[in-house]
Amino acid sequence: MERIKKLKVPAFPIQLLDSGTRDGFGAGLVAAAELYPGLVGLCADVTESVRMADFAARYPDRFVEVGVAEQNLVGVAAGMALGGKTPFAASYAVFNPGRSWDQFRVSVCYSNLNVKLVGGHAGLNVGPDGATHQALEDLALTLSLPNVTVVVPADAYEAYQATIAIAGQVGPSYLRLARDKCPDVTSKNGSFTLGKISTLETGKDLSIVACGLLVAPAMTAAQRLRQEGLSVRVLNASTLKPFDTKTILTAARQTGAIVTAEEHQLHGGLSSLVSQTCAQHYPVPVESVAVKDTFGESGQSKELLAKYHLTTEDIQKAAWKVFNRKVKA
Amino acid sequence: MPDTHRPPTPQQLITLSETSAAIRQSVIKMLLAAGSGHSAGPLGMADVFTALYFSVLKHRPKQPTWVGRDYVLLSNGHICPVWYATLAEAGYFPKAELKTLRQLGSRLQGHPHLGSLPGIENTSGPLAQGLSQACGLAYALRLDKRNNQVYTLMSDAEYQEGQTWEAYLFAAKYRLANLTVLIDRNNIQIDGTTEDIMPLEPFKPKLESFGWHVQEIDGHDFSAIISALYLAQSFNTAPSAIICRTIPGKGVTFMEGDYHWHGSPPNRDQAAQALKQLRTIQGQTWNE
């Protein structure tokens, strides 16, 4: 087992700003591999599209192609961890944890092994591939497991920092990545801390808590709402487990109303975490922007986000709705 | 490099059979105390566990995380009573603790849990997961140029799980010669015989076709088990499988070969009768 200590983290490659979370992951994996000699990468036949190809080219001895076999992918990763390695096991989120959940549950989480699960192409933004390939349940699957850290980066910069942070933390984790490009929203915010919900905009009338690719629309929605006269706090929930209840409850107390926004089913993800936290400790009105208990379909990413109500406008509407509920209460 | 193999002497064979009889008695007592658990598999695999731990394995029971040790992973976690009994017999933890099997707060979980007990190298229960773990461990050891062997014990019905075949492809592709799988070919599973439930035959050619070295032996013949284990170590281009033909419930006449004992424990009378038979095997007198 290698010693985890403070190491000098290489700077984020600035040309990747405004790329995708998977691109940030790919660069972060290469950087983490330099820091941690025990890091190995495993992939199930989607190496280029989950952006593990750079790592594989630079560290051919530390890259393992397992073929189209996600159950074995995660089992082998668990065995690598038994042998003292720090394995990143990647595939698309619909397969990993979709097909490998039992292996992740028993071989990894119950054993508390140092395996980093990576689920790529999560959410509706995979577009034309249709519902079979749109992972909208992966957060529910992973959040329900003990011992695991669950991370959903909002952009390439954050994915880069998160990948390095996960590599340096001993224990199971799940990293959710998206296919689409997304604008940079976190680089000006500075450092990334696992387990912390960061405040991207301050405000007092209500809070928007978003994760992943819905953080950028949440920022745009907050700007527009400000022009409409509402002071909106924007929180980036990039770690969902352990959940930073302190920051959520501060927002509940100080703003009195919360909108959640995620590219995931309504049940079992960010909305559930925020609603549960507030209901138990400090009840305030909550409105949720999420996929409402339905499967997706083929279409362009933009068309799908519109049809399933995950856009900037949907967040704005939810904000006015939750604000009115707060005022009437 | 594998050690030079000398066949066991007659005296060593007697000691091994006494050890396996003691392990079987522990299994019966544990299952009786627990009131639930699997009887047939643990009794059937007692000789294989005995040969492995008391003749071949490089290990230090008082230093269970010794870096030079060979690794044993159990894939069919439900036969863990025989693993626990073997580890206790070898001195990993006190035999007195065996009777806590499956009880609240016990280190002897109903299925093995990594970290709960010295000598337990993996978590298993859902079938086939141990084999994939063993593949990853064997790969990691080779990456670090370590010579430790990885042994995995599996049931025959695990070969009905898709994950098993994913792992077979993987181990063959990466030529995991430091991996040896011992298969309990006892022909039974919960619902009946393997050939009725989902046929595995022709079993050996199937495994060979995946590019593994495959041996088939009598799983109750210590000499055969030991020489097969050493022969497996000497293959250095591919992983090894040893099909151990065993009698489920071996050593207890009313359990032998009966699939109904796959997932059931003995009651008090049955346990007394079983212990009497096992003590006779061991050459002791029945005096309880």
Amino acid at A106: V
Within-domain flag for A223? yes
pTM: 0.96
Q: Specify the pLDDT at position A5.
A: 55
Q: Is the pLDDT of residue B51 over 90?
A: yes
CATH number at residue A137: 3.40.50.970
Which of B67, B123, B160 to mutate: most A Cβ within 10 Å? B123
Show which of residues 62-81 on chain B sit within 8 Å of chain A, judged by CB atoms.
71
pLDDT digits (tens), chain A, 329 positions: 445 556 778 899 999 999 999 999 999 999 999 999 999 999 999 999 999 999 999 999 999 999 999 999 999 999 999 999 999 999 999 999 999 999 999 999 999 999 999 999 999 999 899 999 999 999 999 999 999 999 999 999 999 999 999 999 999 999 999 999 999 999 998 779 999 999 999 999 999 999 999 999 999 999 999 999 999 999 999 999 999 999 999 999 999 999 999 999 999 999 999 999 999 999 999 999 999 999 999 999 999 999 999 999 999 999 999 999 999 98
Q: Tell me, yes or no, whether A117 and A166 share the same domain.
A: yes
Q: Among partner residues A67, A82, A85, which is closest to B122 by beta-carbon distance?
A: A82
The dihedrals phi and psi of B273, each to the nearest 5 degrees, come to -65, -45
The reply to whether A186 falls in a domain is no
Domain that holds residue A210: 195-328
CATH of the domain at A230: 3.40.50.920
- Does A129 lie in the same domain as A210? no
The token pair at B266 is 């003995």
One domain, residues A28 and A170? yes
For testing the chain B interface, which of A1, A62, A72, A91 should be mutated: the one with the most B CBs within 10 Å? Answer: A72
Mutate which: A2, A73, A106, A145, vs B, most B CBs within 10 A: A106
Residues A235 and A100 in one domain: no
Residue A187 lies in a domain: no
Say whether both A154 and A249 belong to one domain.
Answer: no
**pLDDT score recorded for residue B228:** 98
Which residues of A sit within 8 Å Cβ distance of B? Answer: 40, 61-62, 64, 66-67, 69, 71-72, 74-85, 87, 102-103, 106-107, 110-113
* Sheet strands side by side (includes B240-245): B71-74, B150-155, B179-185, B240-245, B213-218
- Chain B positions touching A84 (Cβ under 8 A) are 140, 144
Q: State the average pLDDT over residues B193-200.
A: 97
Q: Where does a domain end: A125, A143, A176?
A: A176
Q: Domain check: are A118 and A35 in the same one?
A: yes
pLDDT at A6: 63
Who among B113, B132, B144 is closest to A75 (CB)? B132
In a domain, A188, yes or no: no
Instruction: Verify that A23 and A160 share a domain, yes or no.
Output: yes
Domain boundary among A176, A203, A235: A176
Does the residue A2 lie in any domain? no
A247 and A172 both lie in a single domain: no
* Number of alpha carbons in the 13 Å side-chain half-sphere of residue B189: 19
Same structural domain, A226 and A259: yes
Residue at a domain's end among A145, A176, A207: A176
Are A112 and B115 within 8 A, CB to CB?
yes
Convert the pLDDT of each residue in B153-167 to its tens digit: 999 999 999 999 999
Which three-class secondary structure state does DSSP give residue A218? helix
| CB-CB under 8 Å, A79 with B135 | yes
Q: If you average pLDDT over residues B206-229, what whole number do you get?
A: 98
- Residue A310 and residue A206 share a domain: yes
- Decide if B124 touches A, using CB distance below 8 A: yes
Is the bond into A97 cis (omega within 30 degrees of 0)? Answer: yes
Q: Is residue A260 part of a domain?
A: yes
pLDDT at A2: 46
Please state the rounded mean pLDDT for residues B49-68.
98
Residue A84 lies in a domain: yes
SS3 category, B85: helix
Q: Are residues A207 and A160 in the same domain?
A: no
Helix (H, G, I), strand (E, B) or coil at B73: strand
* Separation CA A64–CA A226 (nearest Å): 50
Taking residue A155's Cβ as centre, other Cβ atoms within 10 Å add up to 29
Q: Is residue A185 part of a domain?
A: no
In the prediction, which pLDDT does A189 show?
A: 83
Query: A18 and A165 in one domain?
Result: yes
Number of domains in chain A: 2
Which residue(s) pair with A199 in the sheet? A235
Domains and their CATH numbers in chain B: 10-282 (3.40.50.970)
